[in-house]
Amino acid sequence: FKPSNKQLLAEEYKKQFWNVLQFLMRNDPEPWNAEIPIDPYNAKWEFCFGGEPIFVVCRAPIYSERKSRYTGTGLEITLQPRGTLDDITGDTKQGKQVRKVIRKRLLAYDDIPMHPDIGDYGIKETFEWKQYMLPETNEESVMRCPITGLKKND
């Protein structure tokens, strides 16, 4: 995304981010993946595009303590096909090791503990959308999925 000429507030970046995901969902030429629930409050829900489940991470200039999510140039959205992570799911030995390494690095790099909404895909009460654009503090949480009710090509 082209950086703004003015400094945006956190709420403006959040709105921009969720608008992008909503636009992609509405304009996806492929049907929703039948293996992924449409209800974002189901632990198996995740963003899909082109029929593919996608792991989403957002970075923005609003993060000062959460340096792993900081970028100084504007909004950045990483879209990684879930299939690239199949061999390292949280229920595998390799997946547990990968998570241990990542979390150790986050603790060393960020100036804030890992956000309590970070979890493993498919685990009850862990929602992917809460992890997409994390709040700056650990006291905040996204309580309602901004794309609730959106269906493919609605």
- Considering the entire predicted model, what is its pTM? 0.87
User: pLDDT tens-digit profile of 55-90?
Assistant: 999 999 999 999 999 999 899 999 999 887 777 777
* pLDDT number for residue 154: 42
Q: What is the pLDDT of residues 84-140, one digit of tens each?
A: 777 777 778 888 888 889 999 999 999 999 999 988 887 887 899 999 999 999 998
Which amino acid, one-letter code, is at 26?
R
CA count, 13 A, side-chain hemisphere, 4: 13
Assess whether pLDDT exceeds 50 at residue 153: no
Taking alpha carbons only, the member of 54, 1, 56, 49 closest to residue 25 is 49
Separation in Å, CA 79 to CA 22, 83, 140: 14, 12, 24
**Strand ranges of the sheet holding 52-59, from the earlier edge strand across to the other edge:** 48-49, 52-59, 76-81
pLDDT of 120 reads 82
Provide φ and ψ at 142, rounded to 5°.
-80, 115
- Select, from the ranges 48-57, 88-97, 140-149, the one with the highest average predicted confidence (pLDDT): 48-57
